[in-house]
Structure 1
């Protein structure tokens, strides 16, 4: 349908093109000269096309407007009443910015590198600009260099369009607003063991309301806490231009916090052996300022304990459930802590809506979770054993409760042939954690929606790869459905 619209509306500029040509011009050959009106029309629509094997191509993007239905027709989508509606199917060239298009083959290359080699968007950008770009010699109104935001926007758009096409839905996003936030609603709708990959969250314990900005400390519901002293336990109002109240000790703590990490202070610290203990809450950038830090200093330089909340808090961890074959079944975010009750609730939420539950759940802390769910009928027929990875390292042979309730040896169906080895890979969650942990540096500065969407997309693609390998090994992987249990 969009091709028909293009032909209809582009025919309207035919006369403007023909009038500047000679009477003998062959209409099958593109003209060398075009009218000033058409030149002006094209001049306002310069674009850059990043291709897989032809480098950077300079071009024009023509969009047409229908005054009957008040619709703008663009290359990938239509715009009406402030809403972008994408065409069905996945195009060969994706619009990753107002003046930037990316070939789908190139985007798939980036996705494969991110999935298999944990390549960052910056590394993809540098590689393309240095190796594949072949920059054009002609001057253009804007730079022909690929930027990391082009990689992320193309990644997001391709993944969304493939997902919506697979489900036969129509992708719609706002036409206005910042490019990096236009897809927030769409990405937020897509969707054991824990790994420490975290994103910024509200500093109030267990608050799940997303932050408005990646730099905020509190969500909108708790925004008034920005005006409260950042020393934990102090509820006095802050002084203008500061994050603490007028208490001189608290002012000294803030000064120490601000100086901490600066090279001048670090040299002074080594020289005078001044001790300021810091409990960093994130395993990412070493220059990050943590949400809660412990300082031992007062206005006179005396040693006193003071727990602060100057910096940004992050979620506690990601928790995953993995089948022994390697397929990741579910993941969730723990905001406060990875307690056994939270893990138990995660398992229940995962299997509550399906007609089956697993016979066995391997978890490194099952000895404590077994006690916690002793009176929960949901776990009556689920054996809770400790995975082999933690069999020797975490549990003592003198732990009678563990030996009698959580030992894999007690279950003959878990043993390998002739009682040797194990039938299932009970350490698959730890191995999957090692794969996911490599995304830590990539995810570190993402806002919540992109963070969750990115990890979901990596998990989906990793699952496809796992299932494909299992099929090649004649392992006959399949999905369980309700019909199998009727």
Structure 2
């Protein structure tokens, strides 16, 4: 369905779409209005991306492989087709768990299948993620699950500031953020779950952290396409990042001041060649041990 036709159908509803939904969902008007805006934005985005044409497509050239960027006339001849869709659950902070479908498209000229967040070349085994000016709003955390960026940030802040475990992050989401207004309206054979578990939380945390790290460095991120699990898919890149952060990867790796460091003259050094030694303090709080830190930054 073309976006203009979809807008006509939405416009033909009695009154505003939010008023139409308000009479059919037992929810406060504010929630219904937010749901309507959320779904409309997702639908229009999905239509414009999943049915591109030579004259109207929101799949920017910066998201396409270099072969599609080089010659504009060639790009107009290469329409994406052969759509494949499967049901997903979008875990969001504002609306809870939302049902949806993820659609990918195929280009016969470059033998590449394009997904919402990455592309995979024909017979290749690597997912190459798009480089953009801003972090994507939806993070593909596993085959059937997406998570909004604001929810990813919430989980990260809960873990960093309150030492919340992955299990408790899932429990808090399922008991305090999850809304069951949509679940009852879905078919009984809907294939994806609306409940977060600990594995989903850790997939979200690690996937978002890697995406954020590569986005900040504006580097091309690649992951194995055929992997037994999301954890195995992320393992190699996580090990590379850990090795980099263990060296000079930390932003304040070379910080030193009179508060967190003590400098003194080595009594065993020669007067002609004095040698100074430095002692760094380590803050311990009874839960985590050995975290050098200082409240005074450069």
TM over 0.5: yes
In structure 1, distance between residues paired with 2:219 and 2:238: 14
In structure 2, distance between residues paired with 1:10 and 1:126: 47
Aligned Cα root-mean-square deviation (Å): 4.2
Whether the 8 Å contact between 2:50 and 2:103 is mirrored in structure 1 is no
Please show how residues 188-227 of structure 1 align to structure 2 within 5 Å. Answer: 188-191=239-242
Please show how residues 298-309 of structure 1 align to structure 2 within 5 Å. Answer: none
Which SS does the other structure have where 1:182 is aligned? helix
Please show how residues 35-434 of structure 1 align to structure 2 within 5 Å. Answer: 45-80=86-121, 81-89=124-132, 90-135=135-180, 136-137=183-184, 138=186, 139=188, 140-177=190-227, 178-191=229-242, 329=252, 362=262, 381-384=275-278, 428-430=281-283, 433-434=284-285
Cα deviation for residue 362 of structure 1 reads 4.5
In structure 2, distance between residues paired with 1:142 and 1:123: 21
Whether the 8 Å contact between 2:104 and 2:115 is mirrored in structure 1 is yes
Whether the 8 Å contact between 1:82 and 1:175 is mirrored in structure 2 is yes
Cα deviation for residue 329 of structure 1 reads 5.0
Partner of 2:288: 437
In structure 2, distance between residues paired with 1:6 and 1:45: 13
Cα deviation for residue 8 of structure 1 reads 2.6
Assess, with a 3 A threshold, how the Cα gap between structure 1 residues 61 and 4 changes in structure 2: closer, same or farther.
closer
Assess, with a 3 A threshold, how the Cα gap between structure 1 residues 175 and 153 changes in structure 2: closer, same or farther.
same
In structure 1, distance between residues paired with 2:127 and 2:240: 17
In structure 1, distance between residues paired with 2:145 and 2:220: 23
Structure 2 portions without partners, runs of 5+: 1-45, 56-82
Which SS does the other structure have where 1:54 is aligned? coil
TM-score (normalised: structure 1): 0.37
Whether the 8 Å contact between 1:361 and 1:382 is mirrored in structure 2 is no
Whether the 8 Å contact between 1:93 and 1:102 is mirrored in structure 2 is yes
Assess, with a 3 A threshold, how the Cα gap between structure 1 residues 384 and 95 changes in structure 2: closer, same or farther.
closer
Cα deviation for residue 142 of structure 1 reads 2.8
Which SS does the other structure have where 1:166 is aligned? helix
What count of residue pairs does the alignment treat as equivalent?
Answer: 209
Cα deviation for residue 53 of structure 1 reads 1.4
Assess, with a 3 A threshold, how the Cα gap between structure 1 residues 168 and 55 changes in structure 2: closer, same or farther.
same
Cα deviation for residue 167 of structure 1 reads 1.1
Which SS does the other structure have where 2:131 is aligned? coil
In structure 2, distance between residues paired with 1:88 and 1:45: 24
In structure 2, distance between residues paired with 1:438 and 1:108: 25
Whether the 8 Å contact between 1:358 and 1:382 is mirrored in structure 2 is no
Per-residue displacement from partner, 1:153-180 (whole Å, max 9, x unpaired)? 1111221112111111011111111210
Largest Rg, 1 or 2: 1
In structure 1, distance between residues paired with 2:282 and 2:196: 37
Per-residue displacement from partner, 1:336-395 (whole Å, max 9, x unpaired)? xxxxxxxxxxxxxx89xxxxx9899559xx9xxx79xx689xx9532356xxxxxxxxxx
Cα deviation for residue 10 of structure 1 reads 11
Assess, with a 3 A threshold, how the Cα gap between structure 1 residues 375 and 68 changes in structure 2: closer, same or farther.
farther
Cα deviation for residue 9 of structure 1 reads 6.4
Cα deviation for residue 152 of structure 1 reads 1.2
The structure whose residues are more often strand, as a share, is 2
Which SS does the other structure have where 2:150 is aligned? helix
